[in-house]
Amino acid sequence: MTSVHFTAHFEALLQMKAYQEFFFSSLLPLDDDLDAEWGSLMERYREKAAHYCHLLQEILKEMRLTAQVKKVVIDAEYRVSATDSELLLPESFDPEIGELKLFLSPESFENPPTIRHELGHLQDRVSHAFDYEKLRRLYNAAVNEVWNVFIDSRLEREKTPGLTQEERWHYFSLTFPRMPPTQRRSYFETLWNSASYTHEEVIFHGEALKEYTEL
């Protein structure tokens, strides 16, 4: 079974979340023994962390990635400019040892489709027909969003849904604000309804749409 680990940074965020829950609950009537209240809360936190690990293992199994992924390290989500030419990818994978590093927020685990979406990138990366290294060299915000649309559409067809069509459309619109609305919707529908895709198509459409991203 794939092992799941949290970095100290991610652990700190989870504990901070637990503390915030405790703080706000302490504004309400509590038992006299605050240490017991805190201990109870931390126990619920540990149960939630175990649930997160199990959830991720089940999603990996659902998406047929357990053979490739032996270990997952969850680190805290970072944010970079969408226009950064060196835009960082949402995961890092070492195929030699089967270690996957995912950058997620604690809230991501309350919304499994977002995790499936990130793992959808990995499904493409481990496909022999998909030249990930070529795509990575040309990676930018436009290429990223085109790939996102293709992934969520594929996941929906495979009954392992990521973001819904309308959720993806929202992000597509934010990425390409300079494209006329009617043309933007038509282009999005064409991408979403594609039966399949290759890295070459991701790059082609990303390059074609790059001029419509925010300057």
User: Residue 16: is its pLDDT beyond 80?
Assistant: no
- On whether residue 119 sits in a domain, the answer given is no
- On whether residue 121 sits in a domain, the answer given is no
Same domain assignment for residues 177 and 107: no
Same domain assignment for residues 89 and 143: no
Residue 193, pLDDT score: 96
Q: Single out the residue of 165, 17, 5, 170 nearest to residue 105, CA to CA.
A: 17
Q: What is the mean pLDDT of the chain?
A: 84
Residue 105, pLDDT score: 82
- On whether residue 117 sits in a domain, the answer given is no
> Could you tell me the pTM of the whole model?
0.81
Q: Which domain holds residue 104?
A: 1-111
Tell me the three state secondary structure of residue 92: strand
**Interatomic CA distance for residues 111 and 192, integer angstroms:** 22
pLDDT confidence tier of residue 32, bands split at 50, 70 and 90? low
Domain total of the chain: 2
Residues β-bridged to residue 76? 104
User: Residue 20: is its pLDDT beyond 70?
Assistant: no
User: Residue 87: is its pLDDT beyond 50?
Assistant: no
Same domain assignment for residues 4 and 96: yes
pLDDT confidence tier of residue 54, bands split at 50, 70 and 90? very high
pLDDT tens for each residue of 112-143? 999 999 999 999 989 878 888 888 888 888 99
pLDDT confidence tier of residue 51, bands split at 50, 70 and 90? confident
Same domain assignment for residues 106 and 196: no
Residue 80, pLDDT score: 45
Same domain assignment for residues 107 and 191: no
Place of tokens 């459409």: 205
Same domain assignment for residues 141 and 207: yes
Do residues 153 and 192 lie in contact, with contact meaning Cβ atoms separated by under 8 Å? yes
- On whether residue 116 sits in a domain, the answer given is no
Q: Which residues contact 95 (CB under 8 A, 6 or more apart)?
A: 68, 126
Same domain assignment for residues 16 and 83: yes
Same domain assignment for residues 8 and 97: yes
pLDDT tens for each residue of 154-180? 999 999 999 999 999 999 999 999 999
Q: Which residues contact 132 (CB under 8 A, 6 or more apart)?
A: 124, 125, 199
β pairing state of 99-104 and 91-94: antiparallel
